[in-house]
């Protein structure tokens, strides 16, 4: 149950406000908090709390934000041997704006994340090829993502790609991915589909003829799963009152990777990940909101969904 994460690190400076400001407008926020974050880091924490052994590859600035990340990684028991200190760039920063209803928009400034390169990947090759699952996102340079995916694919390691933030994907990247996990907006962009096109049909058309599986997260509308010749399936959401959706997709991906690494079938892994994400949106922050495996198991037990089996 070993997961390797090609990780981005973003120190989140989070403002909460009743409404998002319009151009030229200033609004008064209701709260301000700071959290360690970044899609890759959040996914690594989520996978670790789901029970996986986790190692991360990435870069942090030589600054107080970087020190806080390293302390958090250590406290969670996540392997950080391949997290480099980048003296020339600061730690990545995220500036989320959270509305009272829980919806958010985020500006990220990658900084040290932009310097993670194929040489870093090569130096961490043992961590990648010895993993059961490699988790990747798109907050790092595309050539770095490609290098890690090629290495994992060549070694028979299962590759899970979260295509966020959206970017045009090289054809050879998709050919090496075992599970791709976009949200609805990202899928529509990848497929070149309109906002009114039925999402099930968009998913079917986009994935037709491709290898592996497509898992589309739809928030309160659940998850779509397309896997080989099996008809598209919708896994229902767990009904909750969301207070903060930051990191929910990352919690989903981290748990999905952990459960696939544990040998679960895709449908079971999605069900577990769905429950974990539902728990996370009832808490504030990205990584700190990720639940532990026993919490997720309790939600599954009360919902009657598939149980976690190690």
| DSSP track, 95-147 | EEEEETTS-EEEEEE-GGGGG--HHHHHHTHHHHHT-SEEEE-SSS-HHHHHH
Predicted pLDDT at 307: 46
> CA–CA separation, 262 vs 307, rounded Å?
13
- 138: pLDDT strictly greater than 70: yes
Q: How far apart are CA 181 and CA 185, in angstroms?
A: 12
Range list of H helices, the chain: 39-49, 64-76, 118-123, 125-129, 142-154, 171-176, 184-191, 199-207, 248-261, 266-280, 293-303
Query: pLDDT tens, 1-11?
Result: 899 999 999 99
Phi and psi based region of residue 230 (left: phi greater than 0; alpha: psi -120 to 50; beta: remaining)? beta
Domains of the chain: 2-303 (3.40.1190.20)
Asked if residue 127 has pLDDT above 80, the reply is yes
- What pTM, to 2 d.p., does this model score? 0.91
CA–CA separation, 241 vs 79, rounded Å?
Answer: 34
Neighbours of 109 (CB within 10 A): 14
Reading the block at residue 134, the tokens are 């490699």
pLDDT tens, position by position, 254-310: 999 999 999 999 999 999 999 999 998 888 777 888 999 999 999 888 775 554 444
* Catalytically active residues, by annotation: 250
What local confidence, expressed as pLDDT, does residue 253 receive? 98
- pLDDT surpassing 60 at residue 47: yes
pLDDT in tens, 140-197: 999 999 999 999 999 999 999 999 999 999 989 999 999 999 999 999 999 999 999 9
How confident is the model over 239-245, as a mean pLDDT? 74
Average pLDDT, the chain: 92
Contact 202, 193 (CB under 8 A): yes
Q: What is the pLDDT of residues 51-102, one digit of tens each?
A: 999 999 999 999 999 999 999 999 999 999 999 999 889 999 989 898 887 7
pLDDT digits (tens, 9 = 90+) for 186-231: 999 999 999 999 999 999 999 988 889 999 999 888 999 999 766 7
Phi, then psi, of 165 in degrees rounded to 5: -65, 160
């Amino acid at each position: 149950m070993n997961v390797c994460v090609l990780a981005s690190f973003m120190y989140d400076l989070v403002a909460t406000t009743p409404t998002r400001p319009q151009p030229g407008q200033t609004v008064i926020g209701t709260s301000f908090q700071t959290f360690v974050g970044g899609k890759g880091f959040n996914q690594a924490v989520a996978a670790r709390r789901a029970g996986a052994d986790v190692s991360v590859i990435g870069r942090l600035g030589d600054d107080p934000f970087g020190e806080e990340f390293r302390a958090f990684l250590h406290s969670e028991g996540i392997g950080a041997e391949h997290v480099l200190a980048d003296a020339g760039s600061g730690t990545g920063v995220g500036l989320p704006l959270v509305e009272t209803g829980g919806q958010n928009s985020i500006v990220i400034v990658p900084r040290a994340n932009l310097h993670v390169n194929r040489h870093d990947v090569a130096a961490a090759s043992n961590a990648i090829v010895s993993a059961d699952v490699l988790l990747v996102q798109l907050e790092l340079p595309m050539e770095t993502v490609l290098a890690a995916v090629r290495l994992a694919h060549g070694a028979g390691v299962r590759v899970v790609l979260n295509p966020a933030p959206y970017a045009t994907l090289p054809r050879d990247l998709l050919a090496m991915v075992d599970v791709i996990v976009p949200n609805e907006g990202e899928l529509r962009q990848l497929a070149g589909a309109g906002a009114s096109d039925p999402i099930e049909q968009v998913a079917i058309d986009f994935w037709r003829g491709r290898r592996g599986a497509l898992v589309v997260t739809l928030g309160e509308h659940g998850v779509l799963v397309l896997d080989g010749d099996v008809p598209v399936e919708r896994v229902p959401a767990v009904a909750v009152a969301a207070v903060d959706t930051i990191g929910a997709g990352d919690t989903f991906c981290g748990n999905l990777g952990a459960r696939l690494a544990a040998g679960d079938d895709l449908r079971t892994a999605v069900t577990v990940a769905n429950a974990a994400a539902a728990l996370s949106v009832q808490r504030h922050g990205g990584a700190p909101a990720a639940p532990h495996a026993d919490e997720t198991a309790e939600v599954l037990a009360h919902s009657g969904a598939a149980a976690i089996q190690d």
